[in-house]
Structure 1
Amino acid sequence: MNGDWMELDLAFGDAISELQFAPHSNNNLLISSWDSNLRLYDVDASILRLQAPSQAPLLASCFPDHALAFTAASDGFIRRYDLHSGHVDTVGSHDDIATCVGYSNQTCQLITSGFDKKLISWDMHTEKASSCLRSLDAEVDSMYVSGFNLTVAIGASVHVYDLRNFDKPVQSKEALNGPHLSCVSSIPDAEGFAVGSVDGRVSLQISYPSSSNDIRYIFRCHPKSKDGRHYLVSVNDIAFSPLVSGAFATGDNEGYVTIWDAGSRKRLVEFPRHPNSVASLSYNHEGQLLAVASSHSYQEANEIEKPPRLFIHKVDNIDIGSISASRNS
């Protein structure tokens, strides 16, 4: 670690689509890429543990446990990876490009979406054939699986489903009154979600079980100055800290990562600008490290396609004690 950050020594043939730290132990980082490779990097040992090639660009990935991963690819296929042996097999496929993938350990369901406008459930416990949970009116822009909840962003609306009863959403709303949503994330140890938009705003809706102080507001998260004017930059990803309740990070299309306190609506820190757009963010399981994928994302026609780079920021030394203190008061 060089000071409070380091750069991983990894070369990519194309954009990084998603990264995710192992959920419960060690600091292994899973990285999917448009170069059709899934990589597993040991951050502590600075070693590439696994590089598994695929037959198509990987647009999304998830990391249910230390030995298992799933990907969604441009050929529509959903693939499963044994991270110990490197063995890859096919779970199934969408009728078009597969764009999102998430896993619930509570229900043993793999949830995927694609350009075919379908949400599909794959029962990984019984290995049964898939079931189409919902046929949608539009493509899913982003989704997040957490426990029994599936949060889905479609256009300007966000929908929350209970995976145990998929007849209809338990909540549907237009989160930002107009602008297209770009990312969605669920809140650990609470009920609610955060969504980011292409116009730089974030909408928070959080209910803490042990508190009556619900958080519901919209704020302009990523305004930038240029030629004396403010303009708004797309929020590409949101990650909540598992270390401090209410702290979350946002990454934007101009390379900036900012950590916020949801309760006070204050910006805690903004890291120096990364060399490319922030395509994906992930905290490690202890909340001490924040991984940042600095990569073009194919979201804009005029994106500069610089070589993707990966950074690890040490965030446990940031002065955020006042957040946890106020949250417990």
Structure 2
Amino acid sequence: MASFGAGNSNKLTDPNPNKSFEVAQPPDDSVSSLSFSPKANFLVATSWDNQVRCWEIVRNGNNLGSTPKASISHDQPVLCSTWKDDGTTVFSGGCDKQAKMWSLASGGQPMTVAVHDASIKEIAWIPEMSLLVTGSLDRTLKYWDTRQSNPVHSQQLPDRCYALSVRHPLMVVGTADRNLVVFNLQNPQTEYKRIISPLKFQTRCVTAFPDQQGFLVGSIEGRVGVHHLDDAKQSKNFTFKCHRDTSTNEIYSVNSLSFHPVHHTFTTAGSDGAFNFWDKDSKQRLKAMNRCSQPIPCSTFNNDGSIYAYSSCYDWSKGAENHNPATAKAYIFLHLPQEAEVKAKPKAPTGRK
């Protein structure tokens, strides 16, 4: 499908062109993941500076404030984070090949609850199973009962895990070599379906539909695929272009995909520094935001969709030689979505009877 709004360009000098609220005391290096508590407005960020940080976000009318609450350290850069469904506990994983569990309520020390043979790239809590799942560059998925030191189950993947999304009973895993592995978590020890990505380049992110009927996949080539699992709905599958600069023909990675928890529209965020709001059912872009002066590597909604958090920082896409820690500042921004940005518009009549 042709792009339904491919990109926008501006002079990339403003770190905050959308006048978003800035989170206080951001990490000292690039942000790798953002996750909100499912119960309250506590935001966790993981970073390449080996830290996991938590802020309390307070809303007062149309203003947002942020208060740093706590932090823990890993031995190496942290790549991923998630929350337990009761909002008490944070899980994080990274280049030290470990996942840590951290109880915010007790203020206690983090415990190592998962170990892999290579970096842990993705992590998710599955409330329906009371299990943690970790996806690693060692080409395995592991399921953990956090009270036990050994995994409940270890699942071989076709390649390194790059992306993972859970909406029980659906789990979608994106690996290297464009593999998309679908699991039915009612039978997690067997692959439900394996698909080669509809996108021609490396997978960067996946997210399952809220109704568990399919998923979105984003690639490094400024494109998103909308994929339904039901063979009878294959005609509804399509791809579209985004995060491209039409004035220079530059193409940027799609780094983050997030469904709105109420309206089930979604956002894309990319290395062009932009985030956009979309409606897959009407194939419309609802809103294009101004481009920040740095890439957006990660983003997320809070539990009711009233706050959208995104980070703006160097994303390592051009390697270490293009990164100057002395001048590169990492930001975490908070955007208050307007209804027109996130609520699907009524479908236009086709004129057919």
TM-score of the superposed pair, with normalisation by structure 1: 0.88
More strand by proportion, 1 or 2? 1
- Residue number in structure 2 paired with 1:54: 74
Change (3 A) 1:161 1:321: closer
Task: Kindly indicate whether the alpha-carbon contact (under 8 Å) linking 1:157 and 1:174 is maintained by their aligned counterparts in 2.
Answer: yes
Deviating more after overlay: 147-156 vs 70-79 = 147-156
Deviating more after overlay: 232-241 vs 297-306 = 297-306
CA RMSD of aligned residues (A): 2.4
1:77 to 98, 116, 137: 98
Superposed CA deviations along residues 75-132 of structure 1, whole A, max 9, x for unmatched, are 11111000122321111311122221111101111111222111111023x6362044
Distance 1:200 1:261 in 2: 17
Distance 2:244 2:236 in 1: 22
Task: Kindly indicate whether the alpha-carbon contact (under 8 Å) linking 2:199 and 2:223 is maintained by their aligned counterparts in 1.
Answer: no
Q: Which has the higher contact order (CA 8 A, sep 6+)?
A: 2
Task: Kindly indicate whether the alpha-carbon contact (under 8 Å) linking 2:139 and 2:161 is maintained by their aligned counterparts in 1.
Answer: yes
- Residue number in structure 1 paired with 2:61: none
Q: What is the CA-CA distance between 1:274 and the residue it aligns to? A: 1.7
Task: Kindly indicate whether the alpha-carbon contact (under 8 Å) linking 1:52 and 1:86 is maintained by their aligned counterparts in 2.
Answer: no
Distance 2:228 2:336 in 1: 26
1:274 aligns with 2:289: no
Task: Kindly indicate whether the alpha-carbon contact (under 8 Å) linking 2:46 and 2:81 is maintained by their aligned counterparts in 1.
Answer: yes
* Structure 2: unaligned runs, 5 residues or longer: 1-16, 59-64, 349-353
1:179 aligns with 2:214: no
Superposed CA deviations along residues 13-35 of structure 1, whole A, max 9, x for unmatched, are 21111001112x22111111111
Distance 1:277 1:68 in 2: 29
1:110 to 129, 132, 137: 132
Task: Kindly indicate whether the alpha-carbon contact (under 8 Å) linking 1:107 and 1:148 is maintained by their aligned counterparts in 2.
Answer: no
Distance 2:295 2:215 in 1: 23
Aligned positions of 1:57-68 closer than 5 A: 57-65=77-85, 66-68=87-89
Letter in structure 2 aligned against 1:56: Q
Deviating more after overlay: 89-98 vs 161-170 = 161-170
1:298 aligns with 2:316: yes
Distance 1:14 1:252 in 2: 18
2:56 to 42, 57, 81: 42
Superposed CA deviations along residues 155-202 of structure 1, whole A, max 9, x for unmatched, are 312111122313432122112253111111112234211000111110
Task: Kindly indicate whether the alpha-carbon contact (under 8 Å) linking 1:104 and 1:148 is maintained by their aligned counterparts in 2.
Answer: no
Distance 1:319 1:140 in 2: 32
Superposed CA deviations along residues 245-275 of structure 1, whole A, max 9, x for unmatched, are 2x10001112110111111211111111123
* Structure 1: unaligned runs, 5 residues or longer: none
Task: Kindly indicate whether the alpha-carbon contact (under 8 Å) linking 2:183 and 2:190 is maintained by their aligned counterparts in 1.
Answer: yes
Distance 2:18 2:223 in 1: 31
Q: What is the CA-CA distance between 1:296 and the residue it aligns to? A: 1.9
1:17 aligns with 2:32: yes
Letter in structure 1 aligned against 2:209: I
Q: What is the CA-CA distance between 1:4 and the residue it aligns to? A: 6.5
Change (3 A) 1:18 1:72: same
Task: Kindly indicate whether the alpha-carbon contact (under 8 Å) linking 1:104 and 1:147 is maintained by their aligned counterparts in 2.
Answer: yes
